[in-house]
Amino acid sequence: MMDSAPLPDDPAAAADPLVRVENLTCAYGRNVVLRNVSFEVPRGEVLTILGGSGCGKSTLLKHMIGLEQPAKGRIWLGGQELTAATGSARRRILASFGVAYQAGALFGSMSVLENVMLPLAEHSELDPPARELVARLKLREVGLEQYADYATAELSGGMQKRAAIARALALDPAILFLDEPSAGLDPVTSAELDALILRLSRALSLTFIVVTHELASIFTIADRALMLDKQEKGIIAVGRPQDLRDHHPDPRVTRFFRRGEETPV
Ligand SMILES: Nc1ncnc2c1ncn2[C@@H]1O[C@H](COP(=O)(O)OP(=O)(O)OP(=O)(O)O)[C@@H](O)[C@H]1O
């Protein structure tokens, strides 16, 4: 892990949950997308964020990784308040949280190995040979050690996703955020990615926050699912996917989870 000493005046320091979102309001100008959203994510959980198009899934994720500033509310990562931190303190918090942000985030001009070494060059004190060693270990963790010297464009879509995950793992993060990791993948490759997520979560006790609307993925990887709704501008359900499918009183929730069971038109 990177240096993750608590910031001063941090009442939640060292406390679980690993992520705490408190009364978060997200807006683009006057367009309020989410209002007063609160939830917690315990260490080691795989949480999926789901909901219809435009309900604010990516917006929520972007706020949690510091790409957007909330209109209101607070976000705590590992006991450190992201929303109160500025400058180097903010960069330090973010550097300790790996972000694999879809395949497009890989640099096409660099090899797979160089992509994974990049965060180590930016945020660690390691010398180049040590960076390479760590990067090769991360590539092995995602099953890409044979492809270290390939250009990223030479990889298949599924391999690019795995390379992005290896790069996000470079700094030994506590949390990995993934935005629609199975987008554009065929069902078999998508299932392989789910298996990787599960393996990493168990082997490394990693916490995953994954935006996805793939039912197969949700049922495979999620300890809990958090469902957003565009009209409500907030959370309409949180729980185990099976419970949401079988027992939730809100038909918008059960309809989402049962959509694969309907007769195809
Ligand atoms: N950078 C931005 N500037 C202005 N409005 C934005 C911006 N990003 C998103 N929005 C708006 O915020 C709302 C939520 O968008 P968001 O991308 O978070 O939804 P989503 O649930 O991830 O949708 P999808 O499943 O279609 O990707 C939408 O109405 C969208 O138009």
ipTM confidence? 0.97
Mention every residue, 6+ apart, whose C-beta is less than 8 A from residue 161: 100, 102, 103, 181, 182, 185, 193
Mean pLDDT, to the nearest integer, of 102-107?
66
Strand boundaries in 42-71, DSSP class E? 46-50
Best of 49, 57, 60, 61 for a ligand 1 pocket test (most atoms within 8 Å of beta carbon): 57
Residue nearest atom 2 in ligand 1 by C-alpha distance = 28
Query: What tokens were used for 7?
Result: 């910031």
User: Which carries the bigger pLDDT value, residue 264 or residue 162?
Assistant: 162
What does the buried/exposed string (b/e) look like for 234-252 if buried means 16 or more CB atoms within 10 Å of the residue's CB?
bbbbebebeebbeebeeee
Write the residue with the smallest CA distance to atom 13 of ligand 1. 54
CA distances from 190 to 26, 47, 187, 243 (A): 30, 17, 5, 24
Q: Whose CA is nearest to atom 4 of ligand 1?
A: 28
pLDDT above 60 (res 148)? yes
Position with higher pLDDT, 180 vs 4: 180
The total of other beta-carbon atoms located within 10 Å of residue 108's CB is: 10
Q: Could you give all domains of the chain from N- to C-terminal order, each with its CATH number? A: 11-97+176-258 (3.40.50.300), 104-172 (no CATH)
Choose between 15 and 154: higher pLDDT. 154
Torsion of the alpha carbons at 152, 146, 174 and 51, rounded to the nearest 10: 50
Tokens of 251: 């038909």
CA dist., res. 60 & res. 226, Å (int): 11
Q: Among 32-41, 100-109, 220-229, which stretch is predicted with the lowest mean pLDDT?
A: 100-109
Q: How confident is the model at residue 26 (pLDDT cuts 50, 70, 90)?
A: very high
DSSP-assigned beta bridge partners for residue 76: 20, 81
The residue ranges of DSSP E strands in 58-196, in sequence order, are 72-77, 80-81, 98-100, 175-179
pTM above 0.90, yes or no: no
Average confidence (pLDDT) over 125-130: 95
Give the Cβ contact number of residue 262 at 10 Å: 8
* Mean of the per-residue pLDDT values of the chain: 88
Ligand 1 neighbours by CB, cut-off 6 Å = 28, 31, 33, 51, 53-59
Compute the distance from residue 32 Cα to the ligand 1 centre, in Å. Answer: 11
Residue having the nearest C-alpha atom to atom 31 of ligand 1: 54
Least confident of 6-15, 158-167, 208-217: 6-15
* pLDDT over 90 (residue 165): yes
Closest CA to 20 of 50, 42, 45: 42
